[in-house]
Amino acid sequence: MAATLFDTAKGIVEYSYEGNGPTILLFKGGHCTRDTDLSHSSLTYEGYSLLTISRPGYDHTDISTGRSAEEFSQTVIKILDHLKIRKTSVIAVSSAGPTGIALAVHHPERVEKLIMESAVTVPWDIGSKRKAKVLFGPSEKFFWGSIKTLLRVVPDMVIKQMLEELTTENVDHFYDQLSPNDRRFIFDMLTTAQSGKGFSLDINHGVADMSKIQAPVLGMYSHKDNSVPYSQALLLKSTVPSCEIYDVKSDSHLIWIARVPKMCGTND
């Protein structure tokens, strides 16, 4: 998608806006860049317009546009105003959960629906923060450069190591069950990944009071997610006034690649 740079009072924000029809606003998750497509681009073929806004620290979006999820939600409103979008449905992926929640809480008149895809609903714990700072702090370019080099040499090993963080299943068994298309999905996701300064902001985001969300919420989560535990889905369900949880039949955090359910009457 072609990127647009929008100059706000707080700095530059990168976004892309394509398609025709009702607008869906997408906040990608941690380590995702403009080139990372977790299947959301297909929404433009389903009759929707897809507005993808890069969060602070990712792509060309300045961190000054919002060090907190609440602060960035105010910047997002400036973009919606610029594009004359009165109200939109919102998809928040993984680490973008606090951003989607902040927008729904602080600007309820602009959010029609909120879809949380494997999305974070609680602040990060201290142990996870420490690990993230080591891997994705000042050395993040070296880390991702090494990953992408190894992907060209030993892709199976790299993907399995990554899956250790994303699934509660036995990784070897899980990997063996993946289709060629699923493996390509993960490979492409990793080759387009970059943390920039964005992930360092993500791990320090607070979460707004979800009980104040007025829009209906759909949470899509996997019981076998090792990155965002299913308990976060239960918290979302028990806190938001109007919330439905869809249990994705996926064996990992990557709910966009999932087991195809068998038809009634077939054998397991």
Among the listed residues 165, 9, 164, 166, the one whose alpha carbon sits nearest the alpha carbon of residue 74: 9
Q: Mean per-residue pLDDT for 88-108? A: 98
User: Whole-prediction pTM value?
Assistant: 0.94
CB 88 within 8 A of CB 23: yes
In this prediction, residue 11 has a pLDDT band, given cuts at 50, 70 and 90, of very high
- Write down the pLDDT at residue 268: 41
Among the listed residues 132, 185, 141, 145, the one whose alpha carbon sits nearest the alpha carbon of residue 163: 185
107-140 pLDDT, tens per residue?
Answer: 999 999 999 999 999 999 999 999 889 889 899 9
- Write down the pLDDT at residue 1: 62
Q: Mean per-residue pLDDT for 155-159? A: 97
Please state which CATH number belongs to domain 1-268: 3.40.50.1820
Among the listed residues 202, 229, 244, the one whose alpha carbon sits nearest the alpha carbon of residue 100: 202
- Write down the pLDDT at residue 2: 82
CB 99 within 8 A of CB 47: no
The token pair at 116 is 């949380």
Q: Mean per-residue pLDDT for 210-227? A: 98
Neighbouring CB atoms inside 10 A of 184's CB total 12
- Write down the pLDDT at residue 267: 43
34-68 pLDDT, tens per residue?
Answer: 999 999 999 999 999 999 999 999 999 999 999 99
Residue 102 has pLDDT above 60, yes or no: yes
186-207 pLDDT, tens per residue?
Answer: 999 999 999 999 999 999 999 9
Q: Mean per-residue pLDDT for 140-153? A: 96
- Write down the pLDDT at residue 258: 73
Residue 263 has pLDDT above 50, yes or no: no
CB 32 within 8 A of CB 16: no
Locate the domains of the chain by residue range.
1-268
**Measuring CA to CA, how many Å separate 42 from each of 100, 104, 155, 204, 246?**
21, 24, 26, 31, 20
In this prediction, residue 266 has a pLDDT band, given cuts at 50, 70 and 90, of very low
- Write down the pLDDT at residue 118: 98
